[in-house]
Structure 1
Amino acid sequence: MGIIIQKMMGWVFIVGLLIFFSGLSSLNLAEKLLAFFVIISIGLFALRLITKDLIPRDKLEMEIKKVDELKSDAIRDVSHEFRNNISFIFNAVGLLKDEVEKSSPDKRRIRELFNTISMYSRRFESQISSILQFGMLERMEDTEKEKVDVPAIINNVVKEHGEVAKEKGLKIITKIEKVPYMLGNSELIRTLVRNLVSNAVKFTDKGCVRIACKKQDNDMMILVEDTGVGIKKENIEKLFRPYSKLDPLKDGIGVGLVICKKIVNLHKGTIKVESKLGKGTKFTILIPIRAC
């Protein structure tokens, strides 16, 4: 009831001001200026009365609670990933110590444990780097531009993931047309391609990963497609939500695609996702070339 009375008072103020304003023609210049400032002051007060509590308090509290829950979930998931990596490293270090202290240590076992420590250390480093990069990109409004050789970046990223793909029995197929240099940030474009290819390899257990690059009108088109698990239609919008993981069993902290989205936005481009559950996923990126 208090809010209704408040708003009625606001409208009464405004109507009164309109009536008052209609009688200003008989005033001199100084009186008109004084009346003008009075009208502005009272008008702002009336506007404040009308718009106050425009968003219901319970709805606002619900939104704040929702944000807090998302934040708590994100912290929990990231902490869980960190603990897992540290736990694997500590366990491997303990086993390695036991093996080395044996009178006849097994060299093959030692190599396996070293590889385990190395793998989880790299994974841990990658996760921390992703969080730091995500934080940096969140604060960026623009980025320095230079000549970017997109085909060279794609070829290098494919080499980086070649061994992992081979171990999974996957083929990485590239179709790269002759394209001009693009004006952009080389390191960010490299991160964009690396994150997309890494996800494609990670979520594909059989079949292949296709990567294409071509010029489309005034844009550079980068396409990354896989024959992996696919994504439910209702989950596609969650892909670009920070710290959102669709598969809790896969490693990662849920910022890779968020970083991709931010990089594309910084280059004034677009990113499109198409996916069918059990069939695979396709990411299509269009970034203005801006001839250099």
Structure 2
Amino acid sequence: MKKEISKSHSLKRRLLIALITCLLTVMIICTALFEAVYRRTTDTVDDHFGKLTDIAYDEVTDTLCADDLECMRGILNCYCREMSYEMNQGFGGVTEDDISTYLATRAGSYFDDIYITKDIFFVIDNDGITAVDLFDGRHGTDADTVVKNAFETFEKTECDDLDGLSFEEYLLSNKDLADARYTKEGDGYIIVWKNMSEFSGHSQCVGLLSNACVHWKGQMKSASDMEIGELHDNMDLLFRKYTIVMLSAVGGVLVLFIIIAAVLSKKLSDPVVSEHDMLVEINEMKTTFLSDASHELKTPLAAMSGYAQNAEYDLENGSTDAVKEKLKRISSEANRMALMVTQILDATRIEEGRLVLDPSPCDLDALVRETVETYFVVLNKNNNRLALRIPLDLPKVQADSARMQRVFVNLISNSLKHTHNGTILIRAEEEGSEIKVTVKDTGCGISEEDLPHIWERYYKGKHSETGTGLGLFICRFIVESHGGKIWVESEVGKGTSFMLTLPVSPGQTV
């Protein structure tokens, strides 16, 4: 007996030694991997931080240059307008021969009043380009030198667009057309030019040239170097600190992993677990739906609250017209919310088998027009147009008008939501013993990834952030319950067409 116990203790000791050896091995491997990751990370930071800085510099430069360009366009436009007015009124006795001199002379005082620095004003005529340094308001070689350097830079960076011309030749040949450009080469330049013929009878081209537009590049480089040094110090401290924590935790993690693996292996063999997982998945799906539905209902509620507060304020100030407008908006948002609530109730009735149809002969044209008149203004938030193509002699369909109105509301709502400044076409045509209805839009279309799943309950699409995911599920159930069918054709970027068929009412001419 003692011999058997001794063998048992020996086996336990060997198992314990094996376990400790495994833990130590894992800890050593993890430490080596951790150190390798640390070294690789620092090398990656060194390699890519400079690239990220360059990318950030390019993005900032493009944004600032574009803003400066638009600002210079506006300033030059005001200058052209004012100078044209002066010349049209005969101020200064300007003749055709000395327009360029007059514009160059007036530029100094005009632009000095609006505080432009480091800019060059120039006049383009058949004799060439006359430049004025707006920083001190005098003609001189400094301005000409800046213009020359700028033109050489533009020639290097935009040689493909110049068709073999020098930049000065390009300006002279395009002086009748307003344009603007910028380059980040060297110190950076922004140039805009405009012909004054828009404001007067004088065809004279003037422009502005700004230099040293990217002077912040050196500052960004210095800041980048400082940030890299500080990042290295923080990373070193963090990695060293957490190496100790990792070594202490890895043993506990392995033990916990072994325990969890044993428990899970036991539970996975139990069929109750599979049912439990299914219930958890259903619960998560309902939780997501409730969250989305709450968000969708909260949006019109927030809008209604805001309009109500504004209406109260307008009412106190006696602005009845403004109050009427706010009340219309409140009514619109209330109708929107009512549509969502009805959609949720319809889905619940379908789920419980309580959605009962009451089909009868139905005038499709009247049904569609009633739906459009009731809901199009409520749902149309994207400035879309509506076109109806329903023949007046179309036979009646055998359908539940209230339920079919839900179908058309959902289809029109989808089209309006995914179409901006486009057209929604509703077309109906007779095909044998059925009526085919098409709701076509010119929106963004449905991706191939989403297309197979759009009829599923709660599915909203990978790139959709609004909606409850119930509309098309309800549409399909109602149409198929009428004995019809519904399908979709879509092309990304060109639009979507939903088609459905309904049976012609008995006794109608086919």
> TM-score, normalized by length of structure 1?
0.69
- Equivalent residues of 1:74, 1:244 under 8 A apart: no
Range moving further from structure 2, 165-174 or 221-230: 165-174
Q: Which residue of 2 aligns with 1:132?
A: 345
Partner AA of 1:258 in structure 2: F
- Equivalent residues of 1:168, 1:206 under 8 A apart: yes
Partner AA of 1:117 in structure 2: I
Of 267, 272, 290, 2:487 maps to 272
**Structure 1 position 273, deviation (Å):** 1.2
Change (3 A) 1:162 1:116: closer
1:209-220 equivalences under 5 Å are: 209-220=424-435
**Structure 1 position 181, deviation (Å):** 2.0
Structure 1 residues 2-46: Cα deviation after superposition (integer angstroms, max 9, x where no partner)? xxxxxxxxxxxxxxxxxxxxxxxxxxxxxxxxxxxxxxxxxxxxx
The alignment status of 1:122 with 2:344, answered yes or no, reads no
1:1-292 equivalences under 5 Å are: 59-101=274-316, 104-107=317-320, 109-138=322-351, 139-140=353-354, 143-160=357-374, 163=377, 168-177=382-391, 178-246=393-461, 248-250=464-466, 252-289=467-504, 291-292=506-507
Partner AA of 1:65 in structure 2: V
Partner AA of 1:91 in structure 2: G
Q: Structure 2: how far apart are the matches of 1:119 and 1:267?
A: 31
Change (3 A) 1:172 1:234: same
Question: Which sections of structure 2, spanning at least 5 residues, go unmatched?
Answer: 1-267
Structure 1 residues 237-261: Cα deviation after superposition (integer angstroms, max 9, x where no partner)? 33223333346554x4332222211
> TM-score, normalized by length of structure 2?
0.42
- Equivalent residues of 2:435, 2:504 under 8 A apart: yes
**Structure 1 position 72, deviation (Å):** 0.8
Structure 1 residues 91-134: Cα deviation after superposition (integer angstroms, max 9, x where no partner)? 33334334444xx4444543443333223222222222222233
Change (3 A) 1:274 1:55: farther
Structure 1 residues 178-214: Cα deviation after superposition (integer angstroms, max 9, x where no partner)? 4322222122222222321232223211331121112
Change (3 A) 1:110 1:148: closer
**Structure 1 position 161, deviation (Å):** 5.2
Could you say what secondary structure the match of 2:496 adopts?
strand
Q: Structure 2: how far apart are the matches of 1:260 and 1:182?
A: 17
- Equivalent residues of 1:165, 1:172 under 8 A apart: no
- Equivalent residues of 1:226, 1:281 under 8 A apart: yes
Q: Structure 2: how far apart are the matches of 1:70 and 1:291?
A: 42
- Equivalent residues of 2:311, 2:326 under 8 A apart: yes
Structure 1 residues 147-180: Cα deviation after superposition (integer angstroms, max 9, x where no partner)? 1222222233344456569885433223224432
- Equivalent residues of 1:88, 1:120 under 8 A apart: yes
Q: Structure 2: how far apart are the matches of 1:95 and 1:180?
A: 49
- Equivalent residues of 2:399, 2:502 under 8 A apart: no
**Structure 1 position 228, deviation (Å):** 0.8
Q: Which residue of 1 aligns with 2:107?
A: none
- Equivalent residues of 1:165, 1:171 under 8 A apart: no
Q: Structure 2: how far apart are the matches of 1:204 and 1:73?
A: 26
Could you say what secondary structure the match of 2:427 adopts?
strand
- Equivalent residues of 2:380, 2:416 under 8 A apart: no
Q: Structure 2: how far apart are the matches of 1:89 and 1:100?
A: 16
Structure 1 residues 215-269: Cα deviation after superposition (integer angstroms, max 9, x where no partner)? 223222111111012111221233223333346554x433222221111121122
Change (3 A) 1:275 1:58: farther
Question: Which sections of structure 1, spanning at least 5 residues, go unmatched?
Answer: 1-52
Give me the CA root mean square deviation: 3.1
Structure number with greater CO (CA < 8 Å, separation at least 6) is: 1
- Equivalent residues of 1:227, 1:279 under 8 A apart: yes
Change (3 A) 1:187 1:107: closer
**Structure 1 position 146, deviation (Å):** 1.2
Q: Structure 2: how far apart are the matches of 1:108 and 1:151?
A: 35
- Equivalent residues of 2:358, 2:399 under 8 A apart: yes
Could you say what secondary structure the match of 1:282 adopts?
strand
Could you say what secondary structure the match of 1:234 adopts?
coil
**Structure 1 position 55, deviation (Å):** 10
- Equivalent residues of 1:272, 1:285 under 8 A apart: yes
Change (3 A) 1:167 1:180: same
Partner AA of 1:145 in structure 2: P
Larger Rg: 2
